[in-house]
Homo-oligomer: A and B are copies of this chain.
């Protein structure tokens, strides 16, 4: 299946408690321990790790500070963005649970991810996704100009362009992330892995509900272009470089330009 990048959990990765509240505490404890270890081993990074992680009292404060610094500009100040992110992460447990699930997804599904702090500090796909979740909440609250300003900053800074109306589940890995485009009426399920240069777009023929719906557990390879209001079923795999214009059944693989189905675990059929 021509997708891209490694789906195997790094065997050394520690596993969290199953309770959500305990998981968040466990995760933040891990992140601080990692940052302390790295600051000791690499004094050149000590000040950076202090300001981004070790000086903060919680994951949501660390994340809000980091996002505010990354996304600010000379006219959109980091203090405004910090307050905006912190206010949303502090008051919305769903946002926090999604951040935790995304950190775990990167750590366990990407063997190049060596620690939770590595993802928190360095993965622009993770950071773009967390900022999008806040933009999406603002969109649903009819704070659209602010949501669109955030979308624009995320696209400038991370080269990831997700419309704030798009709905995205938990446990998402945007790997490498450069060039990802997700349209206004797209829906992405839980535990989805999306490589760089992936487009969930429209066909240019229709307005309204015009973007793909991606089921749980789908893997979308690098450079795949999925267009139109079509369904990509649970556990499907979309090959790198595919151009997908048709529904893809659950647990089925689609490859090529235009994409054809090449069988699945349950129904290993082969259609031309």
Judge whether A21 is part of the interface by a CB distance below 8 angstroms: no
Using a Cβ–Cβ cut-off of 8 Å, how many residues does chain A contribute to the interface with B?
85
Q: Is the CB of B70 within 8 A of A156?
A: yes
Q: Which residue of B lies closest to A256 (CB)?
A: B257
Copies of this protein in the assembly total 3
Q: How far is the CA of A207 from the CA of B219 in the complex (A)?
A: 17
> Is the Cβ of A204 less than 8 Å from the Cβ of B122?
no
For the residues of A in contact with B, the DSSP-based class is loop
A42, CB-defined interface residue at 8 Å: yes
For residue A42, which residues in chain B have a CB less than 8 angstroms away from its CB?
143, 145-146
Q: Could you tell me which residues of chain A, from 40 to 85, have a CB within 8 Å of some CB in chain B?
A: 41-42, 44-45, 47-48, 51-52, 69-70, 73-78, 80, 84
From B70, B146, B221, B257, contact of A45 by CB (8 A): B146
Q: How far is the CB of A63 from chain B (nearest CB, A)?
A: 14
**A2-B245, A124-B155, A179-B196 provided; 13 other pairs, C-beta below 8 A?**
A1-B203, A5-B204, A41-B145, A44-B146, A70-B73, A112-B163, A118-B145, A156-B158, A159-B178, A159-B179, A196-B199, A222-B227, A257-B257
